[in-house]
Amino acid sequence: MLGRVIVTGGSGFIGGRIAKHLKDAGAYVVIIDQNPPKVQTDEFIRGNVEDEGTWRQVPEIGFDAILHLAARTSVLKSITDPVDAFYSNVAGTFQVLEYARRREVPSVVSASSNAVVGNHTESAITETLGLNPLTPYGATKAAGEMLASGYHHSYDIATANIRLTNVYGPTMWNKDSIIPRLLRYAVGEGEFRIYGEGNQYRDYVYIDDVVSAFIKLAEAQETGTVSFGSGESFSVIEIVNKVSMVVGEKLEPPHIPPQKGEMAGVKISLEKADRLGLKATTSITEGLERTWQDFLQSRRSK
């Protein structure tokens, strides 16, 4: 069990869920984020992870792990503002690893992305594929993985990188990803457009399965990169149809020209995840239904 943990990005969608799970299990949790957390925590430090001064505010106690989720996650915004993506994702990961080295934190688990391998559609993506990012976002995540490898071999820190697919679930309503945008569109609270024909396919994984994977990797002090998702990939059109069934209304968003740098498809191999005991157990139908009901509840509470 993890007793003392730092969660960067702990006010965000995934980080907040991880922090809540850890607190419910009795852990001492420190959150580092630009924004106040929505969950109970023992210590909140407002700041950017790339700023060394932020880390000087962390309590001088021994931590079991750092779960690193603070990042700029928009692929398209990384193209328009690559400098911001670099400082948050590369310099930020460097500061995380430096803190772990100086304070002898034994385990760091970082959120990565299959965007590091580029547009690979010939077969399922594995952890042994070469790095070939197509965007600044993908390049920053590849750089983070390389930094983690260097710190593991030089300083004997367990550094795991979990390449997440599209994570969805409750409380993600302000995010710019496909499922919350579709649900907002379904109730007339925003636009949704399909790039190209909508044949781009992605793996979608439910938030609670991701939380479990992060904590298991930290507890086991695993090192290396592992892809994690549901193991099922769906096209944009298929997701629109599945959301239509959940909300009880046929959604027909307009089509616009495809975006440069967008990966045609993501299908991952879960062979390594299976060996490590990481398993997504929530089906897309069950996960979308839970997410939709939470969305409706959040609107009613407003």
Q: For position 60, which CATH number holds?
A: 3.40.50.720
Helix (H) or strand (E) run with residue 291 in it: helix 284-301
**Domains in the chain: how many in total?**
1
Residue 64: its pLDDT value, please? 98
Give per-10-residue mean pLDDT for the chain (302 aa): 97 96 98 95 97 97 98 91 97 98 98 92 91 95 98 98 96 88 93 92 96 98 98 96 96 89 82 97 97 91 74
Residue 123: its pLDDT value, please? 87
Domain range enclosing 205: 4-301
Residue 125: its pLDDT value, please? 92
- Cβ neighbors of 167 (< 8 A, separation 6 or more) are 13, 14, 177, 204, 205, 206, 207, 210
Question: CA dihedral defined by 294, 297, 299, 301, rounded to 10 degrees?
Answer: -130
Sheet holding 28-33, edge to edge: 43-46, 28-33, 4-8, 65-68, 107-113, 158-164, 224-228
Quick check: 70 and 88 in contact, CB under 8 A?
A: yes
Residue 265: its pLDDT value, please? 80
Residue 103: its pLDDT value, please? 97
- According to DSSP, the residues that pair with 164 across neighbouring strands are 113, 228
- 253 vs 240: CA distance, rounded Å: 9
53-62 pLDDT, tens digit per residue, is 999 999 999 9
Q: What is the pTM of this model?
A: 0.93
- 292 vs 286: CA distance, rounded Å: 10
Residue 261: its pLDDT value, please? 64
Collapsing DSSP to helix, strand or coil, 282 comes out as coil
- Alpha carbon of residue 7 to chain centroid: 13
22-33 pLDDT, tens digit per residue, is 999 999 999 999
- Tabulate helix, strand, coil % of the chain (nearest 5): 40, 20, 40
